[in-house]
Copies of this chain bind each other. A is one copy, B any other.
């Protein structure tokens, strides 16, 4: 048999994580059960109980795994190009009726479980830190002052997009993304971030 990274234990984890996200999207956090996740993953339920314990444990592990999955940070050569790529990725993920289901279900789960809240915050914290590399590079190129708070630039770009999706319900599109990038870059160049 050909060697596969991680072997059987990692394959079980991958199946269980896929099943966890699918069940989360289909039934919502409060409708989930360890047994349904095990059935969907084709893994014996005692294995799932032993390794993950509860639905909370399943959701937290699925998010931790996603957090640890490498994410291609854009590198277009300019700050505006990189921030636009990041903002378009947010817009495109919520415009896609299938892709949007996972973050929506995760935010909902986090409002009902402290383990899911911790995992969600860790996930977004890690993604923000990765995306902040584009700001650090812009500082190195002399596009932004050395005092710039790199993570805050990312949060100021993404914040208004998530606010529309989860709070006001206003639509998001590339035009909205372009504007928020212009606003934040203008202020960051003036040393305000």
Contacts and interface: CB of A to CB of B under 8 A. Distances in A.
Interface of A: 28, 30, 104, 107-108, 111-112, 117, 120-121, 124-125, 128, 152, 155-156, 158-164, 166-170, 179-180, 182-184, 186-188, 190, 192-193
Contact of A155 (B104, B160, B192): B160
Contacts of A111: 104, 107-108, 111, 166
Contacts of A168: 121, 124-125, 128, 155
Contacts of A166: 107, 111, 162, 166-167
Contacts of A164: 155, 159
Nearest to A176: B152
B160 A124 contact: no
Contact of A179 (B167, B180, B190, B193): B193
Nearest to A188: B183
Contacts of A184: 183, 187
A158 B164 CA distance: 10
